[in-house]
Structure 1
Amino acid sequence: MKYLVIGGVAGGATTAARLRRLDEHAQIIIVERGGYISYANCGLPYYIGGVISQRDRLFVQSPESFKENLNIDVWIHTEALSIQPEKKQVRLKHLESGKTWDESYDTLVLSPGAEPVRPPIPGINNPGIFTLRAVKETDAIFRFLEDNKPKRAVILGAGFIGLEMAENLHRRGLYVTIVEMAQQVMNVVDYEIAAQVHQHLRSKQVEFYLNDGVTAFTPLNKRPGEASPGMEITLSSGRTITADMVILSIGVRPENKLAKEAGLTIGSTGGIWVNEFLQTSDDHIYALGDAIEFPNPITNTPAITYLAGPANKQARICADNISQGNHKPYKGAINTAIAKVFDITVASTGLSEKTLTKEGIRFESIITHSSSHAGYYPDAMAMTLKTLFDRETGRIYGAQILGYQGVDKRIDLIAAIIRRNGTVEDLIDLEHAYAPPYSSAKDPVHIAGYVADNIMTGRSRHIHWHQIQGCDQNEIQLIDVRTAEEAGLGTIEGAINLPIHELRNRLGEVPKNKTLVVFCGVGQRAYMAERILRQSGFEDVYNLSGGYKTYEFAVQKQSNEDIFARDIIWKDDHIYQAAPPDSRTSSGPGDSPMSPPTSLQEITPLEVDAVGLQCPGPILALKKQIDKAQPGQRIREVASDPGFAKDVEAWCTMTGNTLLELEEHRGRITALVEKARAQDSPPLHSSRGPLPGTELKNHATLVVFSDDLDRALASLVIANGAASAGKQVTLFFTFWGLSILKKTARPRVRKDLLGKAFGWMLPGNTTKLGLSKINMGGAGAALMRRRMKAKGVQSLEQMLTDAIDSGVRLVACQMSMDVMGVKREELLDEVEIGGVASYLNAASQGNINLFV
C-alpha cells in the first residue's frame, strides 16, 4: 500500500507515524510545503518572548529522523498543486528547483491546516507586518526584533494567540497595543470572564482598543540612523496610532483550495466535509486537522476546531481506519482550550452563552468565586468559574474559568463530565484528590454544582449583572447585605445596605411591593439573605450571580486607550509620564504609572499576609493593623483577591490614610499604606448611613486666570483627570481666562467703548489662543496644535467638551465680565455666572485648589 500525506505538524505527521506502527511494509510519503515537518506550533510565541530560549527545542522530528526511525519519506519545500481523484494522483512541485511531477497513491491524507486571515487593508503588505502560524513567520519576527529593536508593537486581534503575543512582546520590553473589533478579548469566553481579563491587561499597562478595527497602514518617514521607520495605523474610529511592528492575529480559515478544486465536498463552514471515520466524499481520501468541519457533540451543528489536541486524536483514528478499515468513529470536539495571559490563566470548554443563544438552546448560567485551594493554607488564589447548564435535565453545556492556580485541572474535570453528557449531579458527586495545598474539601467544581442544584430545585433564583444595570428602581430594590464598611468602599447605585448579620432584625425595612435583588461580594452571603427573606414572606427575591465582584468588573471601563500618550499625577502631586508619546524615542514600558521615578523613603513596615482571603478579608485585615499602628507608621499588605487593588485605593481615600505603593505580580497585589495622623483620619463606622468624612474633600477647584493655550490645556487636563477620579470639579474663569469660554460663532452684542477695546485685545475664542512662550505671532500655537494632533492628544476644544460631559462646573466671574466687557451671550451655554462666593463655596468643600 502507498500512503501519501499532504501536510505535516500535528495532523499529518502523527497520522504517518501511526500508519507506520500499524503497517511496517507500506510506502509512506509526507509532502510539506514548508521547511519543517514536526514542531511545537503552540510554543512559537514563547520562543519570541524568550521564555523558550533554545530554538531547537521547538522541533519534535526532522525529515532525517522520520526516515531513520520510521522509514517515512519526507519531502519538504514541496507543494501539492492539484489532486486527480480519478487517477489517484497528486501534482507536486518542488519549490526550490521548480520541478513538477505526478505522484500516485492508494490512500491520500489531507492535513493542509489553516491559513491566517489577511484582509485587503491598504498597506497590509508593508514591511514590519507579520502573521504567526509557522516557523518561517516566527523566524522573521525574531530577526526583526533583533535587528530593528522596535519599541512599540500593535497586535490586531485578541484571541489566544494575540494575547500570548502581547504578553511575550511585553516581556521583551515593548509597548504593546491591542486592537480588537469585538467588544471584548478572547471571544470564546463570555463577557463577564473577558471583563476580568481586561482589568488584568490594564494592570500590566497593555494598551487596547475594543470595538475598533484598522482601515489603513501608512509607512512613516525614516529618520537618520533608524533601522525601521515604523508606520501609522488608522483605526475605524478615526484614531491614529504609531507602531514599529504589527502582528496580525485576526483569525484563520481552513485551507480548502486543494480539496475544493478536486471536487471534494466542502461544508457550510468552509471546512472539508468528512464522515465519522474522517473520510471525505472520495472513498480514497481522508482529511483531518484545522481544515475539516465536524458536528459539535453538543449542538450537532458543523464546526471547525483549531486546536492541536483534537488534531492528534483525529490522526490516530484516521490511521486506524485507513489501515484496518473504517471501524473507529471520531466523536467530535467540545473545544476545550486554555491560555496564559500574563499572571492569570483563562480556560473554556463546551459552549459559551453566546453560542447557546445563537443555537437557540435554553440554558441557565451561574458565576461562582472560589479559591484555588484551602484558604487557611498559604498562597490560596482567587478563581472565577462560569457554568452553563440545562435547568430541567441538569446537563452541563459549558464552563469558563479564570484564575491564577489550578484552572487547568478544574476545566479538565468539567470537560470530562461534558464529554459524557454529564449533569449538575455529576459536578456534586465528583471525587477529587484533596489536601489543603491542592484544593478544598468543597472544590470550586463542587461549589458550582451546589449553586446550580439550588437553582434547579428552586431554592435560589439568580439574576445577572446586565439585567439590573440601569433597572427601574421603582420596581426593583437592590439590597447590599455586606457590612457597612464594605458597602462604603463601593456599591451598586440605589442599593440599601442591610448587613446579613442584622437582616433578621431589620425585615421591617425591606420593601414588600418590589422585586428584591440581594447581593454580597461573591454570592454566598446573598444566598443566606435570599433564604431568610423567602422564608419570611418575601417571594419575589433574586440573588445577583457572581455578586458585586462580577458586577464591578462588568460595568467599569473595559478598554485602555491612549495610555502611552498621557501624563499622570503621582501621589506626591508631581506630574510624570506613563510613557513617552513617541514610541521611537522611548526605551520600554519600564516603570508603570504606579511607580514614581524616584524611590519613596524606606521605612520598615508592618507586614500583613492576606493571600487567600476573599473580599472583604484583605481590607478588614488592613484596618485591623491600621488601628494598632502609630500615626505615620507603614503597613505592607500582600493579597490575592483581584479586587483588593481598587479597594485599597478607595479605602485609603475614604479614611485619610496614604497609599504609597501598589503593584501586582503573578496574582499577588502588594500595597504599602502609611497611617494618617489621628486628626486627619475620619473614623470608619459600621452604623447605617454614609460614612462621616466621605461627603467632604471630594471637590477640586481651579482658578483659570490666563488666556494662554498651554495654560488652558493644563487646566483642562487637570480638571478632566480629577473628574475621572470621581471628584466634583469647579473651574472658575476670571479676567483673561474668560476667553476660553467664548463661543466660536460669537453673537452680535452691544458694548461700550472700553468693552469694544477689550474685545479687540482679547482672543475671540479658544482657536485664537496663543502660547505663553515661543508664540511667534501665533505660529507657535499652530505648531503646538499640529504636534498634539500628530501624537493623538485631544484638542483644547475637545477637552472642554469632555469636561462639560463629565459634569465639570464652568463658572465665569461676574466682576471680571463687567470689567472686561464680556457679555453673557458670548459665553458657552453651559457656563454659570458667579462671584467670589461661588468660588469660595466650591473651594471650601475640597482640599485641592489650583491657580492657573
Structure 2
Amino acid sequence: MRIIVIGAVAAGTSAAAKARRNSENAEIVIYEKGEYVSYSGCGMAYHIGGEIKDGATLHPRDDKYFKEVYNVDIKIKHEVSKINPSNQSVEVKNLSTGETFIDNYDKLIIATGARAIKPPIEGVDLEHVFLLRNINNMYAITNYLNKNKVKNAVVVGGGFIGLEVSEALRFKGINVSLVEFKPQVATSIDADIAKIVELELTNNGVDVHKGVAAQSITNKKVQLSNGKELLADIVIIAVGVRPNSEIAQEAGVKLGNYRGILVNEKLETNIPNIYAAGDVSEQYHNVIEDYVYIPLGSTANRQGRAAGDQATGGEITFGGIIGTSIYRIFSLTVAQTGINEEQAKNAGFEPVVLYNIKADRPEYFGGKDMYVKAVADQKSKRLLGAQIVGPNAVDRTVNTFAAVIHLKGTVDDLVDLDLAYAPPYANPRDIVNYTGMMYDNVIRREKKMMRGKEVKKKIVNGEPLIVIDTRSASAFAASHVPGALNIPLSQLREKAASLPKHLPIVFYCNRGLDGYVGQTILENLGFQHVYNIRGGYFGYLLDE
C-alpha cells in the first residue's frame, strides 16, 4: 500500500508517523512545498520576542530524521498541484528543478494547512511589511529587526497572533500600535472579557486602535481609515488565516461554509481513499453540533493521528472539538472553551451567564483574582462554555471546564468535582467548584441576577430601583453605581426595615459574594424583588 500525504507540518507528520506505527509494509511519502517540516508555529512569536533564543529549537526535525526514525520519505520543496481521484494520482512539481511528475496513491491524506490572509492594503508588499505563518516568516521578521533600527511597529489584527506579536515586540522595547477593525481586541472572546485584555495591553504600553482599518502603508507610516497616522518602521499583518483547500476543491472534495474540507469522524472526505486533517479542514463542534473553523495546532495533531490510523485500517476516530484555546498577554493568561451566550441562543439553548471572580489560591499565599464568565443551559443545567482571564492557574481551570463540557456534564458536576487543594496551589473552594455553587443558587434556588447594562438602562430611564452597595465606605467613595446606597452587610439587618418592599432592590459588591449574602438576608426577611448584579461592581463596569 502506498500512502501519500500532502503537507509536512503538524497534521501531515502526525498522520505519517501513526501510519508507520501501524504498518511496516506501507510506502509513505510526504510532499511539502516548504523547506521546514514538523515545526512549532505556536512558538514563533516567542522567538521574535527573544524568550526562545534559538529559533532552530522550533524545527528540530528534518526530512532525514523522518527517514531514519520512521522510514517516511519527505520530499521538501515539492508542491502537489493537482489531485486526480479517478486514477488515484497526484501531479507534483519539484520547486528546485521545475520538473513535474505523476505519483499514484492507495490512500491520500490532505494536510495542506492554511495561509495567512494578506488584505488588499496599499503598500502591503513593502519590504518592512510581514505576515507570520511559517518559519520563513519568523526568520524574515527577526532578520529585519536585527538589521534595522526599529523603534515603532504597527500590528494589524487583534486576534491570537496579533496579540502575541504585540507582546513580543514590546518585550524588545519597540513602541507598538495595535489596529483592529472590529470594536474590540481579543476577537475570539466576549467584549466584556476583552476589556480586561485591552487594559493589560495599554498598561504595558501598547497603543490600541479599535473599530478602524489600516488603509495604506508607506515606508514609515500606516494611514488609518479614521485619518490617523501611525509611525511604523515595521508592520506585521495578522488578520487571520484561510484554508489551503483549492486543489482539493478542484478534485471534487467537498468544502464547508468556511472553505475548509468537510470530513467525518474518520477524517474521510466525500471521495473514497482521500482523507483530510489539520488547518485545511473544518471541525465538528460538539456543543454547537455543526462545523466550524477553529484552526489550532492541538487539533491538527489529533486529526493527523486519527487520519494516519484510518488510512492503515485502524479504528481511531476524531471526536470533534469544543473550541478550547489559551494564550498569554503580558502578565495575564486568556482562555476559553465551549460557546458563549450568543452562540448558545443560536444553538437553541436557554443560556444562564455568570461571572465568578475569585483568587486562584488563598490571599495569604499571594493569590490573585481570576475572572470566569460561564454559560450553562437553564433547562438541562448542562455546562456550555467558559472564558477565563487571570495571572495564574488559568490553564488548569480551563482544562477542567473543558473536560466537563466535553463529557456533556452539568453545573452540578462542577460542585461535585474532587479537586486538589493545598494553599500554595488552590483554594479549598476551587473556582470551578464555586462556579457550580453559584449556578445552584441561580438555577435551583432561583436567585435573581441582573446584568450591569440592565441596571444602567433602568437608571438612565428613571425606573424605580434601589441599588445597594455593600462595600466599604472608602471603596464606595472612590467609585460606585450612580444613586446607590452604601449599606455594608454589618448594617443591613438594622436598616432593612427602612427599605421599601414593593420596589426592586439590587445588590452589588466587588465580586458578587457579599451582594449574594445581602440578597439572601432581604429574601429571608420577606423581600420578594431582590437581585444581585452579575459579577459585582466589576461586572457592572464591564457590561455594556
Structure 1 length normalisation: TM-score?
0.62
The counterpart of 1:405, out of the listed 375, 378, 392, is 392
Q: Is 1:544 matched with 2:533?
A: yes
Please tell me the residue identity of whatever aligns with 2:33. Answer: R
Large movers: runs of 4+ above 4 Å: none
- Give 2:439's aligned amino acid: A
Q: Equivalents in 1 of 2:60, 2:401: separation in Å?
A: 30
Measured in 1, the distance between the counterparts of 2:446 and 2:362 equals: 27
State the match for 1:449 in structure 2: 436
Say if 1:195 and 1:554, in contact at 8 Å, map to a contact too. Answer: no
Q: Deviations over 1:457-516 (max 9, x none)?
A: 134111122222242343222211112222011101121212211011111332334322
**Partner of 2:2 in structure 1?**
2
CA distance in 1, matches of 2:247, 2:82: 6
Q: Distance in 2 between matches of 1:100 and 1:203?
A: 54
Check 1:202–1:447 CA distance in 2 against 1; reply closer, same or farther (3 A cut).
same
Aligned with 1:376: secondary structure? helix
Question: Sequence identity, in percent?
Answer: 35
Mark the CA change 1:518 to 1:441 in structure 2 (over 3 Å): closer, same or farther: same
Give the Cα separation in 2 of the matches to 1:142 and 1:533.
62
Cα deviation for residue 213 of structure 1 reads 1.2
Structure 2: stretches of 5+ with no match in the other structure: none
* Structural RMSD (CA): 1.4
Q: Give the whole-Å Cα distance in 2 for the aligned partners of 1:180 and 1:477.
A: 39
Say which one has the larger Rg: 1
**How many angstroms does 1:554 deviate by?**
4.9
Query: Which whole-Å CA distance do the structure 1 matches of 2:25 and 2:538 have between them?
Result: 62
Give the SS at the match of 1:318. helix
Q: State whether residues 188 and 352 of structure 1, in contact with CA within 8 Å, keep that contact through their aligned partners in structure 2.
A: no
Does the aligned pair in 2 maintain the 1:465–1:554 contact within 8 Å?
yes
Q: Report the AA paired with residue 307 of structure 2.
A: C
| Cα shift at 1:260 | 0.6
Whether the 8 Å CA contact 2:177–2:230 is kept in 1: the answer is: no
CA positional deviation for 1:358: 4.1
Within 5 A, what are the aligned runs for 1:798-837?
A: none
> How much does 1:553 deviate?
4.4
Which of 378, 381, 384 is residue 391 of structure 1 equivalent to?
A: 378
Q: After alignment, is 135-144 or 472-481 more displaced?
A: 472-481
Q: CA deviation at 1:307?
A: 0.7
Selected match of 1:246 from 199, 223, 235: 235
CA distance in 2, matches of 1:362, 1:239: 43
Equivalent-residue separation in structure 1 for 2:423 and 2:467 (angstroms) = 36
The letter for the 1-side match of 2:243 is: P
Work out whether residues 501 and 529 of structure 2, in 8 Å CA contact, stay in contact via their aligned partners in 1. no
Aligned to 1:146: 146
Partner of 1:344: 332
| C-alpha contact (below 8 Å) 1:347/1:407 kept by paired residues | yes
Query: Using the alignment, how far apart are the partners of 2:372 and 2:381 within structure 1?
Result: 17
Q: Which residue of 2 aligns with 1:270?
A: 259
Q: 1:468 aligns with which of 430, 452, 455?
A: 455
Distance, in Å, in 2 between the alignment partners of 1:44 and 1:459 is 48
Match of 1:366 among 326, 343, 354: 354
Q: Distance in 2 between matches of 1:542 and 1:144?
A: 57
Match for residue 427 of structure 2?
Answer: 440
Task: Give distance in 1, aligned partners of 2:208 and 2:543.
Answer: 17
SS at the partner of 2:336?
strand
Instruction: Check whether the contact 1:5–1:111 (CA below 8 A) recurs between aligned residues.
Output: yes
**What whole-Å deviation, never above 9, does each CA across 1:564-592 have from its counterpart, x for those lacking one?**
xxxxxxxxxxxxxxxxxxxxxxxxxxxxx
Match of 2:48 in 1: 48
Letter in 2 for 1:385: V
Note the alpha carbon deviations across 1:808-839, whole angstroms, 9 max, x for none. xxxxxxxxxxxxxxxxxxxxxxxxxxxxxxxx
Question: Any conservation in 2 of the 1:40–1:60 contact (CA below 8 Å)?
Answer: no
**What does 1:499-510 correspond to in 2, within 5 Å?**
499-510=488-499
Q: Does 1:96 align with 2:96?
A: yes
1:418 alignment partner in structure 2: 405
Residue 180 of structure 1 aligns with an amino acid whose one-letter code is E
1:169 is displaced (CA, Å) by: 0.5
What amino acid does structure 1 have at the position aligned with 2:276? Answer: A
Aligned partner letter, 2:326: I
Partner of 1:15: 15
1:301 alignment partner, one of 290, 293, 309: 290
Residues 241-265 of structure 1, C-alpha deviations (whole Å, 9 max, x = no match)? 2211111111111111010111111
**2:318 match:** 330
Taking structure 2 as the reference length, the TM-score comes to 0.97
Alignment partners' CA distance in 2, 1:509 and 1:487: 20
1:292 matched to 2:243? no
Match of 1:123 in 2: 123
CA-to-aligned-CA distance 1:430-467 (integer Å, 9 cap, x gap): 11111110111110111111001101113411112222
Contact 1:391-1:455 at 8 Å conserved across structures? no
Secondary structure of the residue that 2:127 maps to in structure 1? coil
In 2, Cα distance between the equivalents of 1:42 and 1:452?
35
Match of 1:430 among 417, 434, 445: 417
Matched, 1:31 2:38: no
C-alpha separation in 1, matches of 2:269 and 2:523: 58
Q: Matched residues in 2 for 1:261 and 1:475: separation?
A: 64
* Secondary structure at the counterpart of residue 384 of structure 1: strand
Shift of 1:117: 1.2
Please say if residues 130 and 137 of structure 1, whose CA atoms lie closer than 8 Å, have aligned partners that are also in contact: yes
Distance 2:61 2:72 in 1: 12
1:157·1:179 contact (CA, 8 Å) conserved in 2? Answer: yes
Q: Matches of 1:160 and 1:268 in 2, distance apart? A: 22
Corresponding residue to 2:483 among 487, 494, 498? 494
Q: Secondary structure at the match of 2:363?
A: coil
Task: Give 1:303 deviation, angstroms.
Answer: 0.8
For the 8 Å contact 1:278–1:318, the answer to whether it is kept is yes
Output the CA distance in 2 between the equivalents of 1:56 and 1:119.
30
* Alpha-carbon distance between aligned partners in 2 of 1:511 and 1:10, rounded to the nearest angstrom: 64
AA of the residue aligned to 1:169: L
Residues 64-110 of structure 1, C-alpha deviations (whole Å, 9 max, x = no match): 11111111111111111111111111111111211111111111100
Aligned to 1:85: 85
CA contact under 8 A between 1:519 and 1:544: conserved in structure 2? yes
CA contact (8 A) 1:291 1:304 kept: no
- Contact 2:6 2:80 (C-alpha < 8 Å) held by counterparts: yes
Structure 1 counterpart of 2:530, one-letter code: V
Amino acid of the structure 1 residue aligned with 2:28: I
Show CA shifts across 1:107-129 (max 9, x none).
11000111111121222212211
Q: Which residue of 1 aligns with 2:216?
A: 216
Task: Give, in angstroms, the shift of residue 272 of structure 1.
Answer: 0.6
**Range 462-471 or range 332-341, more displaced:** 462-471
Whether the aligned pair in 2 keeps the contact of 1:89 and 1:102 (CA below 8 Å) is: yes
* 2:327 partner letter: A
Counterparts of 2:397 and 2:188, CA distance in 1: 17
Deviates more, 1:544-553 or 1:171-180: 544-553
State the distance in 2 between where 1:320 and 1:66 align: 18
CA distance in 1, matches of 2:464, 2:5: 65
Q: Give the deviation of 1:149 after TM superposition.
A: 2.0
Asked if structure 1 preserves the Cα contact closer than 8 Å seen for 2:177 and 2:206, the reply is yes
Residue pair 2:452, 2:543 contacting (<8 A) in 1 also: yes
Q: How does 1:620-635 map to 2 (within 5 A)?
A: none
1:720-759 superposed Cα distances (whole Å, 9 cap, x missing partner): xxxxxxxxxxxxxxxxxxxxxxxxxxxxxxxxxxxxxxxx
In 2, the alpha carbon distance for the partners of 1:185 and 1:354 equals: 18
Q: How many residues align?
A: 542
Q: CA offsets, 1:311-352, max 9 Å, x none?
A: 111112111111115x33322011111101001111111112
- Kindly provide the CA deviation profile for residues 547-566 of structure 1, in whole angstroms up to 9, marking residues without a partner as x: 112323456xxxxxxxxxxx
Measured in 1, the distance between the counterparts of 2:453 and 2:166 equals: 29
Distance in 2, matches of 1:361 and 1:120, equals 39
Taking the aligned partners of 1:120 and 1:52, their CA distance within structure 2 comes to: 32
Name the CA distance, whole Å, in 2 between partners of 1:95 and 1:357: 49
The answer (yes or no) to whether the contact 2:158–2:180 under 8 Å persists in 1 is yes
Asked if 2 retains the 8 angstrom alpha-carbon contact of 1:190 and 1:354, the reply is no
